Structure 1
Amino acid sequence: IETDSKNRTVTLPTVGKANLSHPGQTAAPVPFSITLKECNATDAIKANLLFSGATTKGQPYLANKTGNGKATNVGIQIVKADGTGTPIKVDGSQANSEKAPDTGKEQNGTVIQPRFDYFAHYYATGAATAGTVEAAATFEVKYD
Protein backbone atom coordinates (compact mmCIF):
# COMPACT_ATOMS: atom_id res chain seq x y z
CA ILE A 1 0.00 0.00 0.00
CA GLU A 2 1.37 3.41 -0.94
CA THR A 3 2.34 5.54 2.04
CA ASP A 4 -0.20 8.28 1.26
CA SER A 5 -2.99 5.65 1.14
CA LYS A 6 -2.34 4.52 4.73
CA ASN A 7 -3.91 6.32 7.71
CA ARG A 8 -5.42 8.98 5.50
CA THR A 9 -8.03 11.54 6.45
CA VAL A 10 -10.70 12.60 3.97
CA THR A 11 -12.05 16.01 4.99
CA LEU A 12 -15.50 16.96 3.73
CA PRO A 13 -16.51 20.62 3.49
CA THR A 14 -19.08 22.23 5.77
CA VAL A 15 -22.65 22.02 4.47
CA GLY A 16 -25.91 23.37 5.84
CA LYS A 17 -28.41 20.98 7.40
CA ALA A 18 -30.90 21.97 4.67
CA ASN A 19 -28.71 19.98 2.25
CA LEU A 20 -29.40 16.83 4.30
CA SER A 21 -33.07 17.17 5.18
CA HIS A 22 -34.40 13.87 3.77
CA PRO A 23 -33.29 10.25 4.21
CA GLY A 24 -30.93 9.17 1.43
CA GLN A 25 -29.86 12.71 0.50
CA THR A 26 -26.15 13.12 -0.11
CA ALA A 27 -23.91 16.19 -0.18
CA ALA A 28 -20.33 17.36 -0.67
CA PRO A 29 -18.57 14.50 -2.48
CA VAL A 30 -14.79 14.45 -2.02
CA PRO A 31 -12.59 12.15 -4.14
CA PHE A 32 -9.93 9.91 -2.65
CA SER A 33 -7.86 6.95 -3.82
CA ILE A 34 -6.18 3.92 -2.32
CA THR A 35 -3.10 2.84 -4.25
CA LEU A 36 -1.30 -0.47 -3.93
CA LYS A 37 2.36 -0.82 -4.81
CA GLU A 38 4.72 -3.49 -6.03
CA CYS A 39 1.95 -5.76 -7.30
CA ASN A 40 2.59 -8.20 -10.08
CA ALA A 41 -0.03 -8.37 -12.84
CA THR A 42 -1.65 -11.52 -11.39
CA ASP A 43 -2.10 -10.06 -7.90
CA ALA A 44 -3.31 -6.70 -9.24
CA ILE A 45 -6.18 -8.41 -11.08
CA LYS A 46 -7.23 -10.29 -7.92
CA ALA A 47 -6.98 -7.35 -5.49
CA ASN A 48 -10.11 -5.89 -3.91
CA LEU A 49 -10.81 -4.01 -0.69
CA LEU A 50 -12.86 -4.88 2.39
CA PHE A 51 -14.05 -1.84 4.38
CA SER A 52 -15.09 -1.95 8.05
CA GLY A 53 -16.42 0.79 10.29
CA ALA A 54 -19.08 1.71 12.83
CA THR A 55 -22.45 1.19 11.16
CA THR A 56 -25.60 -0.86 11.39
CA LYS A 57 -24.95 -4.13 9.53
CA GLY A 58 -26.06 -3.85 5.94
CA GLN A 59 -26.45 -0.07 5.96
CA PRO A 60 -24.63 1.85 3.20
CA TYR A 61 -22.93 4.45 5.40
CA LEU A 62 -20.53 4.97 8.29
CA ALA A 63 -22.24 6.15 11.46
CA ASN A 64 -21.38 9.56 12.89
CA LYS A 65 -19.72 9.50 16.29
CA THR A 66 -22.06 10.50 19.11
CA GLY A 67 -21.70 13.06 21.83
CA ASN A 68 -21.75 16.77 22.51
CA GLY A 69 -21.78 18.90 19.37
CA LYS A 70 -22.23 16.00 16.96
CA ALA A 71 -24.81 16.18 14.18
CA THR A 72 -27.58 13.58 14.19
CA ASN A 73 -29.26 11.75 11.30
CA VAL A 74 -26.16 11.97 9.13
CA GLY A 75 -23.27 9.64 8.34
CA ILE A 76 -20.55 9.26 5.72
CA GLN A 77 -21.00 7.12 2.63
CA ILE A 78 -18.21 5.82 0.38
CA VAL A 79 -19.11 5.25 -3.27
CA LYS A 80 -17.28 4.02 -6.34
CA ALA A 81 -15.85 6.82 -8.48
CA ASP A 82 -16.74 4.99 -11.69
CA GLY A 83 -19.78 7.16 -12.40
CA THR A 84 -22.32 4.66 -11.00
CA GLY A 85 -22.33 6.03 -7.46
CA THR A 86 -22.53 2.46 -6.18
CA PRO A 87 -22.20 2.49 -2.37
CA ILE A 88 -19.38 0.47 -0.84
CA LYS A 89 -20.37 -1.87 2.00
CA VAL A 90 -18.61 -0.63 5.12
CA ASP A 91 -19.73 -3.22 7.66
CA GLY A 92 -17.02 -5.76 6.82
CA SER A 93 -19.56 -8.16 5.32
CA GLN A 94 -18.44 -8.09 1.70
CA ALA A 95 -15.27 -7.22 -0.16
CA ASN A 96 -15.60 -4.54 -2.79
CA SER A 97 -15.74 -6.41 -6.08
CA GLU A 98 -14.35 -3.48 -8.04
CA LYS A 99 -10.99 -4.34 -9.52
CA ALA A 100 -8.27 -1.72 -9.43
CA PRO A 101 -7.35 -0.26 -12.81
CA ASP A 102 -3.77 -0.11 -14.03
CA THR A 103 -2.43 3.37 -13.27
CA GLY A 104 -0.02 3.16 -16.17
CA LYS A 105 3.09 2.45 -14.13
CA GLU A 106 4.55 -0.74 -15.52
CA GLN A 107 7.85 -2.57 -15.43
CA ASN A 108 8.38 -5.21 -18.09
CA GLY A 109 4.60 -5.55 -18.50
CA THR A 110 3.94 -5.93 -14.76
CA VAL A 111 1.47 -3.57 -13.10
CA ILE A 112 3.08 -2.12 -10.01
CA GLN A 113 0.58 0.46 -8.71
CA PRO A 114 -3.12 -0.43 -9.13
CA ARG A 115 -5.41 2.28 -7.73
CA PHE A 116 -8.97 2.20 -6.31
CA ASP A 117 -10.89 5.48 -6.72
CA TYR A 118 -13.79 6.56 -4.49
CA PHE A 119 -15.86 9.49 -3.28
CA ALA A 120 -16.84 10.09 0.35
CA HIS A 121 -19.91 12.24 1.00
CA TYR A 122 -22.44 13.05 3.70
CA TYR A 123 -25.45 10.71 3.80
CA ALA A 124 -28.72 11.70 5.51
CA THR A 125 -30.58 9.05 7.51
CA GLY A 126 -33.30 11.59 8.38
CA ALA A 127 -33.48 15.37 8.81
CA ALA A 128 -29.93 16.25 9.88
CA THR A 129 -29.29 18.46 12.89
CA ALA A 130 -26.43 20.93 13.11
CA GLY A 131 -23.11 19.69 14.45
CA THR A 132 -19.90 17.98 13.49
CA VAL A 133 -19.67 14.72 11.57
CA GLU A 134 -16.84 12.27 12.19
CA ALA A 135 -16.59 8.65 11.12
CA ALA A 136 -13.77 6.18 10.64
CA ALA A 137 -13.22 3.14 8.46
CA THR A 138 -10.44 0.65 7.99
CA PHE A 139 -9.72 -1.40 4.89
CA GLU A 140 -8.06 -4.71 4.14
CA VAL A 141 -6.63 -5.77 0.80
CA LYS A 142 -8.05 -9.15 -0.27
CA TYR A 143 -6.81 -11.28 -3.14
CA ASP A 144 -9.58 -13.45 -4.60
Structure 2
Amino acid sequence: MPTLSIYLNLINFKDTKMITKRRIFCFLPFMITPGAYAASAGTVEFNGEIIAGTCTIKSGDVNKVVTLPKVSSENLKTSGSTAGSKVFTIEVSNCATTINGVTAHFEAINGTTGYDVQTNNLTNDVVTDATATPPVKAAGNVQIRLFDKGGTTQVQVGGTDGAFVRTNAAHEATMEYVASYYATGAATEGTVHANVAYTLAYN
Protein backbone atom coordinates (compact mmCIF):
# COMPACT_ATOMS: atom_id res chain seq x y z
CA MET A 1 0.00 0.00 0.00
CA PRO A 2 1.43 3.44 -0.91
CA THR A 3 2.24 5.74 2.03
CA LEU A 4 1.95 9.48 2.27
CA SER A 5 4.49 11.49 4.31
CA ILE A 6 3.61 14.96 5.57
CA TYR A 7 6.26 17.46 6.69
CA LEU A 8 5.48 20.73 8.47
CA ASN A 9 8.07 23.44 7.79
CA LEU A 10 8.40 25.38 11.05
CA ILE A 11 11.80 26.95 10.28
CA ASN A 12 10.26 30.40 9.77
CA PHE A 13 8.96 30.48 13.32
CA LYS A 14 8.87 34.27 13.26
CA ASP A 15 5.89 34.23 10.87
CA THR A 16 2.70 35.77 12.24
CA LYS A 17 0.42 33.65 14.38
CA MET A 18 -2.30 33.84 11.71
CA ILE A 19 -0.04 32.34 9.03
CA THR A 20 1.20 29.56 11.33
CA LYS A 21 -2.37 28.49 12.20
CA ARG A 22 -3.35 28.53 8.56
CA ARG A 23 -0.51 26.20 7.60
CA ILE A 24 -1.35 23.62 10.27
CA PHE A 25 -5.05 23.69 9.45
CA CYS A 26 -4.38 22.95 5.79
CA PHE A 27 -2.25 19.91 6.55
CA LEU A 28 -4.55 18.34 9.20
CA PRO A 29 -7.01 16.52 6.87
CA PHE A 30 -4.13 14.82 5.04
CA MET A 31 -2.71 13.59 8.32
CA ILE A 32 -6.01 11.90 9.38
CA THR A 33 -7.23 10.37 6.14
CA PRO A 34 -4.35 7.94 5.35
CA GLY A 35 -4.39 6.50 8.87
CA ALA A 36 -8.16 5.85 8.78
CA TYR A 37 -7.88 4.18 5.39
CA ALA A 38 -5.02 1.90 6.39
CA ALA A 39 -6.84 0.66 9.51
CA SER A 40 -9.63 -0.92 7.40
CA ALA A 41 -7.39 -2.79 4.94
CA GLY A 42 -7.43 -6.59 4.61
CA THR A 43 -7.40 -9.49 2.18
CA VAL A 44 -9.67 -12.39 1.20
CA GLU A 45 -8.17 -15.56 -0.22
CA PHE A 46 -10.19 -18.23 -2.06
CA ASN A 47 -9.26 -21.85 -2.71
CA GLY A 48 -11.14 -24.46 -4.71
CA GLU A 49 -10.81 -27.37 -7.10
CA ILE A 50 -12.61 -28.43 -10.27
CA ILE A 51 -12.76 -32.14 -11.05
CA ALA A 52 -13.51 -33.97 -14.29
CA GLY A 53 -15.75 -36.72 -12.85
CA THR A 54 -19.35 -36.38 -11.81
CA CYS A 55 -22.48 -38.27 -10.73
CA THR A 56 -25.88 -38.30 -12.43
CA ILE A 57 -28.92 -37.20 -10.45
CA LYS A 58 -31.70 -39.75 -10.84
CA SER A 59 -34.57 -38.39 -12.94
CA GLY A 60 -37.11 -38.33 -10.12
CA ASP A 61 -34.87 -36.14 -7.97
CA VAL A 62 -33.81 -33.49 -10.49
CA ASN A 63 -36.87 -31.35 -9.71
CA LYS A 64 -38.15 -32.64 -6.39
CA VAL A 65 -41.32 -31.64 -4.54
CA VAL A 66 -41.41 -32.14 -0.77
CA THR A 67 -44.77 -31.70 0.99
CA LEU A 68 -44.50 -30.92 4.69
CA PRO A 69 -47.35 -31.97 7.00
CA LYS A 70 -50.00 -29.53 8.17
CA VAL A 71 -49.18 -28.42 11.71
CA SER A 72 -50.79 -26.06 14.20
CA SER A 73 -49.42 -22.58 14.82
CA GLU A 74 -49.42 -23.63 18.49
CA ASN A 75 -46.35 -25.72 17.70
CA LEU A 76 -44.53 -22.63 16.38
CA LYS A 77 -45.31 -20.00 19.01
CA THR A 78 -41.77 -18.94 19.81
CA SER A 79 -38.83 -17.82 17.68
CA GLY A 80 -36.47 -20.69 16.97
CA SER A 81 -39.03 -23.47 17.39
CA THR A 82 -39.37 -26.14 14.69
CA ALA A 83 -42.17 -28.53 13.76
CA GLY A 84 -43.50 -30.66 10.94
CA SER A 85 -40.25 -32.24 9.81
CA LYS A 86 -40.15 -34.30 6.62
CA VAL A 87 -37.36 -36.60 5.40
CA PHE A 88 -36.41 -36.43 1.71
CA THR A 89 -33.67 -38.03 -0.32
CA ILE A 90 -31.61 -37.22 -3.40
CA GLU A 91 -30.24 -40.21 -5.28
CA VAL A 92 -27.35 -40.27 -7.75
CA SER A 93 -25.88 -42.92 -10.03
CA ASN A 94 -23.13 -43.35 -12.64
CA CYS A 95 -20.56 -41.74 -10.34
CA ALA A 96 -17.01 -41.57 -11.67
CA THR A 97 -14.62 -44.06 -10.08
CA THR A 98 -12.52 -41.16 -8.80
CA ILE A 99 -15.40 -39.92 -6.61
CA ASN A 100 -15.41 -41.18 -3.03
CA GLY A 101 -18.34 -39.23 -1.64
CA VAL A 102 -21.08 -36.84 -2.67
CA THR A 103 -23.38 -34.31 -0.98
CA ALA A 104 -25.86 -31.62 -2.03
CA HIS A 105 -24.76 -27.99 -1.96
CA PHE A 106 -27.97 -25.96 -1.54
CA GLU A 107 -28.00 -22.53 -3.15
CA ALA A 108 -30.42 -19.62 -3.33
CA ILE A 109 -32.46 -19.34 -6.53
CA ASN A 110 -30.56 -17.02 -8.91
CA GLY A 111 -27.93 -16.74 -6.19
CA THR A 112 -29.73 -14.02 -4.23
CA THR A 113 -33.41 -14.69 -3.53
CA GLY A 114 -35.45 -17.05 -1.39
CA TYR A 115 -33.36 -17.19 1.77
CA ASP A 116 -32.72 -15.27 4.99
CA VAL A 117 -29.07 -14.23 5.44
CA GLN A 118 -29.50 -14.13 9.22
CA THR A 119 -30.97 -17.61 9.75
CA ASN A 120 -29.73 -19.23 6.51
CA ASN A 121 -33.24 -20.65 6.09
CA LEU A 122 -35.54 -20.64 3.08
CA THR A 123 -38.13 -17.86 3.19
CA ASN A 124 -41.85 -18.18 2.52
CA ASP A 125 -42.51 -16.75 -0.96
CA VAL A 126 -46.32 -16.89 -0.74
CA VAL A 127 -47.92 -13.46 -1.21
CA THR A 128 -51.28 -12.81 0.46
CA ASP A 129 -53.98 -12.01 -2.10
CA ALA A 130 -57.54 -11.70 -0.80
CA THR A 131 -58.88 -11.11 -4.34
CA ALA A 132 -57.59 -14.43 -5.72
CA THR A 133 -59.96 -17.38 -6.26
CA PRO A 134 -59.63 -19.00 -3.82
CA PRO A 135 -58.07 -16.28 -1.62
CA VAL A 136 -54.40 -16.73 -0.77
CA LYS A 137 -53.05 -16.12 2.72
CA ALA A 138 -49.36 -16.43 3.54
CA ALA A 139 -48.34 -17.91 6.87
CA GLY A 140 -46.50 -15.35 8.97
CA ASN A 141 -43.18 -15.71 10.80
CA VAL A 142 -42.47 -19.10 9.22
CA GLN A 143 -39.44 -20.26 7.22
CA ILE A 144 -38.16 -23.65 6.05
CA ARG A 145 -34.99 -24.97 7.67
CA LEU A 146 -32.93 -27.78 6.15
CA PHE A 147 -31.17 -30.39 8.26
CA ASP A 148 -28.73 -33.19 7.56
CA LYS A 149 -29.70 -36.84 8.05
CA GLY A 150 -31.08 -37.28 11.55
CA GLY A 151 -32.54 -33.76 11.71
CA THR A 152 -30.07 -32.27 14.21
CA THR A 153 -27.44 -30.42 12.12
CA GLN A 154 -28.61 -27.47 10.05
CA VAL A 155 -27.69 -27.46 6.38
CA GLN A 156 -27.34 -23.76 5.60
CA VAL A 157 -28.29 -22.29 2.25
CA GLY A 158 -24.99 -21.45 0.59
CA GLY A 159 -23.03 -23.91 2.72
CA THR A 160 -21.86 -27.46 2.10
CA ASP A 161 -22.85 -28.63 5.58
CA GLY A 162 -24.30 -32.03 4.74
CA ALA A 163 -22.22 -35.13 5.39
CA PHE A 164 -20.59 -36.65 2.33
CA VAL A 165 -22.19 -40.00 1.45
CA ARG A 166 -19.80 -42.64 0.18
CA THR A 167 -20.65 -44.17 -3.18
CA ASN A 168 -21.30 -47.92 -3.19
CA ALA A 169 -19.88 -50.67 -5.40
CA ALA A 170 -22.43 -49.78 -8.09
CA HIS A 171 -21.20 -46.15 -8.06
CA GLU A 172 -24.47 -44.90 -6.58
CA ALA A 173 -25.36 -42.94 -3.44
CA THR A 174 -28.47 -41.80 -1.56
CA MET A 175 -28.29 -38.52 0.34
CA GLU A 176 -30.85 -37.96 3.08
CA TYR A 177 -32.02 -34.59 4.40
CA VAL A 178 -34.81 -33.19 6.57
CA ALA A 179 -36.99 -30.12 5.97
CA SER A 180 -38.90 -28.48 8.79
CA TYR A 181 -40.97 -25.40 9.57
CA TYR A 182 -38.96 -22.83 11.53
CA ALA A 183 -40.56 -19.97 13.49
CA THR A 184 -39.01 -16.50 13.47
CA GLY A 185 -41.72 -15.33 15.87
CA ALA A 186 -45.25 -16.41 16.77
CA ALA A 187 -46.43 -18.18 13.60
CA THR A 188 -49.75 -17.25 12.02
CA GLU A 189 -51.91 -19.51 9.87
CA GLY A 190 -51.54 -19.60 6.12
CA THR A 191 -49.70 -21.24 3.25
CA VAL A 192 -45.97 -21.86 3.10
CA HIS A 193 -43.92 -22.34 -0.06
CA ALA A 194 -40.17 -22.12 -0.71
CA ASN A 195 -37.67 -23.01 -3.42
CA VAL A 196 -34.01 -23.87 -3.29
CA ALA A 197 -31.50 -24.90 -5.94
CA TYR A 198 -28.78 -27.46 -5.42
CA THR A 199 -25.68 -28.78 -7.10
CA LEU A 200 -23.54 -31.78 -6.27
CA ALA A 201 -20.30 -31.43 -4.32
CA TYR A 202 -17.70 -34.19 -4.17
CA ASN A 203 -14.76 -35.48 -2.22
Tell me which interval the TM-score lies in, with the shorter structure as reference length.
Answer: 0.7 to 0.9
Do residues 113 (structure 1) and 172 (structure 2) align?
yes
- After the TM superposition, which residues 1-144 of structure 1 pair with which residues of structure 2 at under 5 Å, given as runs? 1-45=57-101, 47-53=102-108, 54-68=114-128, 69-81=137-149, 83=150, 85-90=152-157, 92=158, 94-102=159-167, 104=168, 106-107=169-170, 112-144=171-203
* CA-CA distance at 1:72 after TM superposition: 1.0
* CA-CA distance at 1:58 after TM superposition: 4.6
Q: Indicate the SS of the match to 1:127.
A: strand
Structure with greater contact order relative to length (CA < 8 Å, sep ≥ 6): 1
Instruction: Assess if the C-alpha contact under 8 Å between 1:22 and 1:126 holds in 2.
Output: yes
What 5-or-longer segments of structure 2 have no aligned partner? 1-56, 109-113, 129-136
* CA-CA distance at 1:101 after TM superposition: 3.7
Amino acid at match of 1:11: T
* CA-CA distance at 1:60 after TM superposition: 3.3
CA deviation map 1:45-87 (0-9, x unaligned): 2x33210231122523110114110011001111011x36101
C-alpha distance 101-29 of structure 1, shift in aligned 2 (>3 A): farther
Larger radius of gyration: 2
**TM-score in terms of structure 1 length:** 0.84
Supply the RMSD in Å over aligned alpha carbons.
Answer: 1.7
Instruction: Assess if the C-alpha contact under 8 Å between 2:126 and 2:191 holds in 1.
Output: no
Task: Supply the distance in 1 between the matched residues of 2:65 and 2:126 (Cα, whole angstroms).
Answer: 19
Q: Indicate the SS of the match to 1:136.
A: coil
Same amino acid, percent of matched pairs: 31
| Bigger share in strand | 1
Runs of 4 or more consecutive aligned structure 1 residues displaced over 6 Å after TM superposition: none
Matched residue count? 134
Instruction: Assess if the C-alpha contact under 8 Å between 1:60 and 1:87 holds in 2.
Output: no
Instruction: Assess if the C-alpha contact under 8 Å between 1:10 and 1:32 holds in 2.
Output: yes
CA deviation map 1:99-128 (0-9, x unaligned): 0144x5x24xxxx21111011111111100
